[in-house]
Amino acid sequence: MLRKELKIFTFNDLLNYFPFRHVDKTKVDKIGELNYQTEYAQVAGKLIDCEIVGEKQGRRLVAHLKDDSGEIEMVWFQGINWIQKALQVGQHYLVFGKLGFFMNKAQFSHPEIETYTKENATGKSFLEPIYPSTEKLKIKGLNGRAIGKLTYHLLQLISEKDVPENLPQSILTKYKFICRYDAYRHIHFPATEKHFLHALRRLKFEELFFAQLRLGLIKSTRHRYSKGQSFEKVGNLFTTFYEKHLPFALTNAQKRVLKEIRKDVGSGKQMNRLLQGDVGSGKTIVALLMMLIAADNDFQSVLMAPTEILAQQHFNSITELIGDLPICVKLLTGSSKTKERREVLQLTETGKVTILIGTHAVIEDKVVFKNLGFAVIDEQHKFGVAQRALLWKKNNIPPHVLVMTATPIPRTLALTAYGDLDYSVMDELPPGRKAIKTVHRFENNRPNVMDFIKEEIAKGRQAYIIYPLIEESSKLDYENLMKGYEEVKSFFPEPNYWVSMVHGKMKSDQKETNMQRFVINDTQIMVSTTVIEVGVNVPNASVMVIESAEKFGLSQLHQLRGRVGRGAEQSFCILLTGSKISKDAAERLKIMVATNDGFKIAEKDLEIRGPGDIEGTQQSGLLNFRLANIVQDKVIVDAAKEQVDSILDTDPDFTLAENLRIKNYLYLQKGKTIWSKIS
């Protein structure tokens, strides 16, 4: 039962099944002293009466308990016959429960009641833990209290050597942590709240410490032992491109990141790097420059994108950028025609393809490279961990991997969740961009919004109108989209205006045609679902209207907004909502209006939603800590990180006597870890 319902398999699991709160039964209160401020109370006294009263729905058991200071009423609405039989007027009882007030008089409803004895006369010597249980377990009689009893017995049985210390003495001393055995005792059965808090702090640290240590170990092992391709030279392709083709000067952030990556790929070790850069910060060109360096060293590259639209767009813009450079760039997606696909596969296998661009189709087994040296994964959060791992196997010596994402993750979170990856940030936008102006408008303002779009179109600009697609399969969402499309067309009649539409249920060639018409300004308006969320680049578009904006999460809103503001013109983002929106939604919209900074938005997102929901981290399961909360416990996160870094710097093999505890603990935990390679 425990096994199936709560995933408790061993004593160790039971020890790690923590109470969600404690109740204080350490004191016995005087009935006469209870007042409105008392939430829970424990009293002792003589049962003076115990009667069933009322009819039908109102039938209840009413009893009174009296001590030398006063009298209190107790009521039960369920199981009343049974309870009445069990109680005896004239006996002394110990009663615990939540205090309610009825007609100004204190009252317990459904209190816990037990016979008053010498043993329990002065109350418990510890705070009583309450554990989460499930409905099924409760039916079997295994409620939170019963689990507490099991845990209590378990703690009687074990001794300090069963819960060996796993943190070095220096850490215990530095942070004044209690030892591990005490921490487990006190988190379940603390004598006082202070004991509990000490235990909690210690166990949270331990949790964060080992999570970060495991990831850090993967990284440090890779840095020390992995073998990687070495890109020794910068050759003709790179130089020619840099001097003759590059249409702009790189930003300082782009230069810095390029340097970081080049250092990695020249080190002889395999690179696994996460590149974070806000939407529009220019990550693609960095990836392209690196792929050219790979080509200069006779290696092939692959660039993988989350959607066909994006893959196609990367293909178009890269083909255009490289112009007449003597390299072969090919596209491979799920909808490539058989003949074309066969040709691309063959060219890839023989090494003729220099850069292969595509969707997840590029990591299928059928795709064989002659000499893959560099892999770029764009907008990584759409790719599963397992898919990423497939890339490693595409070459004898695994290729360098660059993971790019515009989903901003706060730094602490990134370092914790992706601790096995090296980390680069591009925190600068190319010059000349004007900050996007964002406003929130209610639905009844729609005509004004449409007029505004007309003005922008008259200036030669284009606009997106995005509809929410909560579920890929939701019929209602599509109906709304179609209704919206018709409505937009009635505001913008042909032949003065042309409207494109793109959504997930379309055939990909139709999607592509519609997209392409918008790209070349053949249509002025793009009506779409969130399929265009990531990566799409149409610099001439200056208005982003988001319909039912209250239904979108912050990071999605930010991604969508990032589709405009890519040219030199002033751009606008209009968040349309109904008149009634929830408090959370209002908060999100307020943040969007207030800032364009993706990292600030990510911090806010984290505050509002908590870490479990941050995109790109759910799959990794890395942020689902039992005790720690990566937002609220930031101080502990940082302390743990500091200790992990220092140990991995000085003693990564745990050879010092001081670190033996860590080594032993990791050894014991082996096989249980869920942290495999996450890139």
279 lies in the binding site for ligand ADP (CB under 6 A): yes
Instruction: State in angstroms the smallest separation of the CB of 583 from ligand ADP.
Output: 31
Nearer to ligand ADP, 150 or 250 (CB): 250
111 binds, among ligand ADP, Mg ion, none (CB under 5 to 8 A by kind): none
Report, in Å, the least distance between residue 649 CB and Mg ion: 34
Residue 424 interaction partner, one of ligand ADP, Mg ion, none, beta carbon < 5-8 Å per kind: none
Q: Binding marks (x or -) toward ligand ADP, 427..466, rule CB under 6 A?
A: ---x------------------------------------
Residue nearest to ligand ADP (CB): 282
Of 406, 502, 545, 630, which lies in the binding site for ligand ADP, with binding defined by CB under 6 A?
Answer: 406
Count residues near ligand ADP (CB under 6 A).
Answer: 17
What's the DSSP call for residue 159? -
**Residue 417 one-letter amino acid:** A
Instruction: Name the CA radius of gyration of the chain, rounded.
Output: 32
The two most distant CA atoms of the chain are separated, in Å, by 101
Q: Please choose which of Mg ion, ligand ADP, none residue 336 contacts, taking the beta carbon within 5 to 8 angstroms, the exact cut-off set by kind.
A: none
Query: Among ligand ADP, Mg ion, none, what does residue 97 contact (CB within 5–8 Å per kind)?
Result: none
Cis bond upstream, residue 495 (ω within 30)? yes
Q: Does 282 bind Mg ion (CB under 5 A)?
A: no
Nearer to Mg ion, 127 or 287 (CB): 287
Q: 234-269 b/e with 16+ CB inside 10 Å = b?
A: beebbebbeeeeeeeebbebbebbbebbbebbbeeb
H helix or E strand, kind and range, residue 662: helix 660-669
Assess contact for 81 and 44: CB atoms under 8 A: no
Tell me how far, at minimum, the Cβ of 283 lies from Mg ion, in Å: 5
CA dihedral 360→362→367→373, nearest 10 degrees, is: -130
Per CB under 6 A, does 539 bind ligand ADP?
yes
Q: Supply the DSSP symbol for 630.
A: T
Query: Which partner, Mg ion, ligand ADP, none, binds residue 285 by CB below 5 to 8 Å per kind?
Result: ligand ADP
Report in angstroms how near the CB of residue 426 gets to Mg ion at its nearest: 11
Q: Which does 399 bind (CB under 5 to 8 A by kind): Mg ion, ligand ADP, none?
A: none
Residue 539 C-beta: closest distance to ligand ADP, Å: 6
Of 2 and 261, CB closest to Mg ion: 261
Question: Is 403 among the residues that bind ligand ADP (CB under 6 A)?
Answer: no
Q: Residue with CB nearest Mg ion?
A: 535
Give the contact letters, 546-585, x = binds to ligand ADP (CB under 6 A), - = no: --------------------x-------------------
Are 615 and 381 spatial neighbours (Cβ–Cβ below 8 Å)? yes
Of 142, 285, 391, 647, the one binding ligand ADP (CB under 6 A) is: 285
DSSP sequence for 644-658: HHHHHHH-TT--SGG
Which residues ranging from 101 to 160 are in contact with ligand ADP (CB under 6 A)? none
Burial status of residue 51 (CB atoms within 10 A of its CB: 0-12, 13-18, 19 or more):
exposed
SS (H, E, C) 418-458: CCCCEEEEECCCCCCCCCCEEEEEEHHHHHHHHHHHHHHHH
Using CB under 5 A, count the residues that bind Mg ion. Answer: 1
- CB nearer Mg ion, residue 190 or residue 535: 535
| Distance of closest approach, residue 289 Cβ to ligand ADP, in angstroms | 11
User: Which region, left, alpha or beta, applies to residue 460 given φ > 0 means left and ψ of -120 to 50 means alpha?
Assistant: left
Q: Does 398 bind Mg ion (CB under 5 A)?
A: no
| Least distance between ligand ADP and beta carbon 519 (Å) | 12
DSSP single-letter state for residue 29: B
Q: How far apart are CA 114 and CA 446, in angstroms?
A: 66
Question: Which residue in the block uniquely carries the two structure tokens 């319909």?
Answer: 547
Task: Report the site for ligand ADP in 237-276 (rule: CB under 6 A).
Answer: 248, 250-251, 254
Q: Quote the CA–CA distance of 333 and 40 in Å, as a whole number.
A: 63
Which of ligand ADP, Mg ion, none binds 566 (CB below 5-8 Å, type-dependent)? ligand ADP
Structure tokens at 42: 């424990």
Of residues 280, 535, 562, 565, which one binds Mg ion by CB under 5 A? 535
User: Taking CB within 5 to 8 Å according to partner kind, which of ligand ADP, Mg ion, none is near residue 279?
Assistant: ligand ADP
Query: Which of 535, 598 has the CB closer to Mg ion?
Result: 535
Phi and psi based region of residue 378 (left: phi greater than 0; alpha: psi -120 to 50; beta: remaining) = beta
Task: Indicate the residue among 405 and 416 with the shorter CB distance to Mg ion.
Answer: 405
As measured in angstroms, the least distance from the Cβ of 607 to ligand ADP is: 25
- Say if residue 341 is exposed, middle or buried (CB neighbours under 10 Å; 0-12, 13-18, 19+): middle
250 binds, among ligand ADP, Mg ion, none (CB under 5 to 8 A by kind): ligand ADP
Which stretch in 150-158, 279-287, 569-577, 662-670 sits in contact with ligand ADP by CB under 6 A? 279-287
Shortest reach from residue 497's CB to ligand ADP, in Å: 25
Query: Exposed, middle or buried, 91 (CB in 10 Å: 0-12/13-18/19+)?
Result: exposed
Q: Which region among 282-290, 322-330, 349-357, 449-457 touches ligand ADP (by CB under 6 A)? A: 282-290
Closest CA to 36 of 91, 106, 97: 106
Cβ neighbours, 10 Å, residue 231:
26
Closer residue to ligand ADP, CB minimum distance, 207 or 378 = 378
Looking at residue 82, its amino acid is W
Per CB under 6 A, 281 contacts ligand ADP? yes
Neighbour count for residue 671 (Cβ, 10 Å): 6
- Asked if 557 contacts 584 with a C-beta cutoff of 8 angstroms, the reply is no
Q: Which does 277 bind (CB under 5 to 8 A by kind): Mg ion, ligand ADP, none?
A: ligand ADP
In whole angstroms, the minimum distance from the beta carbon of 347 to Mg ion comes to: 26
* Chosen from ligand ADP, Mg ion, none, partner binding at 281 (C-beta under 5 to 8 Å by type): ligand ADP
Q: Which of 267, 537, 570, 629 binds ligand ADP (CB under 6 A)?
A: 537
Question: Among all chains, which residue has been given the structure tokens 């993967």?
Answer: 218
Cβ atoms within 10 Å of 199's Cβ, excluding its own? 24
By beta-carbon proximity to Mg ion, the closer residue of 399 and 535 is: 535
The 8-class DSSP code of residue 300 comes to: E
Residue 45 engages Mg ion in binding (rule: CB under 5 A): no
Nearer to ligand ADP, 288 or 488 (CB): 288
Phi, psi of 475 (to 5 degrees): -65, -40
The span from the CA of 391 to the CA of 393, in Å, is 5
Residues in touch with ligand ADP (CB under 6 A): 248, 250-251, 254, 277, 279-285, 406, 430, 537, 539, 566
Residues in touch with Mg ion (CB under 5 A): 535
